[in-house]
Amino acid sequence: MTARPSPDSRTTAPPVAAPVIEIRNLHKSYGSLEVLKGVDMAAPRGHVVSLIGSSGSGKSTLLRCCNLLEDSQEGDILFEGESVRWKGEGLNRHPADRAQVIRIRTNLSMVFQQFNLWSHMTILQNVMEAPVTVLGRPRDEVEAAARKYLDKVGIGEKCDAYPAMLSGGQQQRAAIARALCMEPRALLFDEPTSALDPELEQEVVRVIKALAEEGRTMLLVTHDMRLAADVSDHVVFLHQGRIEEEGPPDVLFGSPKTDRLRQFLSATA
Ligand code: ADP
Ligand code: MG
C-alpha cells in the first residue's frame, strides 16, 4: 500500500537528488608521490563547499580530478550520481571519451587562480568562445548570454576590451562570466582571489557571494577564511591529502577540534 502524500509533504519534500559532485575514497598519485589518500566529500545541489588547507595539501589536485584534468588511481567521482572518474589511459583519444570530457567540463566549469583568458581575444570573444566552438550553440544566443553574464559580474562595458587592458579583478570577473556562460551545474573555483591585490580581491569576493546567494552549487578552494566562513554550507580542511577535519563553517572556524586546524587557522589569521 502506498501512502498518499499530504499536500504539505508534496511541497516540502522533493525527491532526494544525488549530489552534483560526490567524491568517494579518492586516491591520486603523481608517480610515487601520493597526493590524495582517500578523500570523501560531496557538494549537494545549491550548496557551497569550501576546501581549505596548506599549500601542497592537494586542493587543486582534487578540483582537477573532478574536472577530468587529472586521472586518479582509486575511488570514484560521481557527477549527479554517475561515475565519471578518469581512470587513466587515453581519455582524450576516443570520440566518446572526448564527448564525456566536454560534458563534464561544461557542467563543472572551473575558474582558475590565473584567469587563463585568451590574450588575443576581446572579453566578449573570450566568454563566447567555448559555448560557440565547443558546444556548437548559436552565436547570437551565446552573445546575448555572454553580455548578460558580463553585466552580472559588473564589467558589461568592457566587452570590447582585451584582457591586458583590464585589472586583475576585472579579468577574474570576466573568467567567472566565461564559466557561467557554459550554463554549468556547478562552479569549481581554485583560489580565485589569490593572484589579486587586496583592494581588487573584494570585487571578486562580492561576485562569488552573489553567486552563493542565488543558490549555485560551488566547490571553492580559497585561502580567504572570511570568504569561506561567509559563503560555505560546509568546509573541508585538507592536510597532506586527507580530510583532517570538516563541518559547518561556524563550528569549524569557531571551535576547531584538531591541533592541525588550530595551527592552520592561527597561521592564516
Ligand atoms: P594545493 O593546491 O593544496 O596547494 P596541489 O594539489 O597543487 O596542492 O599539490 C599537491 C601535491 O602534488 C604537491 O606536493 C605538489 O607538488 C604535487 N603536484 C601537483 N601537481 C603535480 C604534477 N603535475 N606533477 C607532480 N606533482 C604534482
Ligand atoms: Mg592549489
Instruction: Measure 13 CA to ligand 2 centroid, in angstroms.
Output: 38
Q: What is the pLDDT of residues 171-205, one digit of tens each?
A: 999 999 999 999 999 999 999 999 999 989 999 99
Which atom of ligand 1 sits closest to the CA of residue 64? 6
Confidence (pLDDT) at 99: 87
Instruction: Measure 70 CA to ligand 2 centroid, in angstroms.
Output: 14
Its pTM stands at 0.92
Q: Is the pLDDT of residue 11 over 90?
A: no
Instruction: Measure 62 CA to ligand 1 centroid, in angstroms.
Output: 10
Residue whose CA is closest, atom 7 of ligand 1? 60
User: Of the bound ligands, which one is closest to the alpha carbon of residue 59?
Assistant: 1
Which residue from 235, 238, 237 is spatially nearest to 227, judged by alpha carbons? 235
Q: Does the Cβ of 56 fall within 6 Å of ligand 1?
A: yes
CA distances from 78 to 22, 30, 69, 190, 221 (A): 5, 22, 15, 19, 19
User: Of the bound ligands, which one is closest to the alpha carbon of residue 54?
Assistant: 1
User: Of the bound ligands, which one is closest to the alpha carbon of residue 58?
Assistant: 1
Q: What is the pLDDT of residues 63-117, one digit of tens each?
A: 999 999 999 999 999 999 999 998 887 666 677 788 889 999 999 999 999 999 9
Q: Does the Cβ of 64 fall within 6 Å of ligand 1?
A: no
Question: Which of 28, 37, 54, 60 for a ligand 1 pocket mutation test, highest count of atoms within 8 Å of Cβ?
Answer: 60
Instruction: Return the C-alpha cell found at 131.
Output: 559555448
What fold does the segment set 18-107+187-196+223-269 form as a domain? Rossmann fold (3.40.50)
Residue whose CA is closest, atom 14 of ligand 1? 56
Which atom of ligand 1 sits closest to the CA of residue 53? 3
For residues 18-46, average pLDDT: 97
Rounded-to-integer distance, Cα 108 and Cα 22, Å? 12
Instruction: Return the C-alpha cell found at 162.
Output: 582585451
Q: Is the pLDDT of residue 30 over 90?
A: yes
Instruction: Measure 30 CA to ligand 1 centroid, in angstroms.
Output: 8
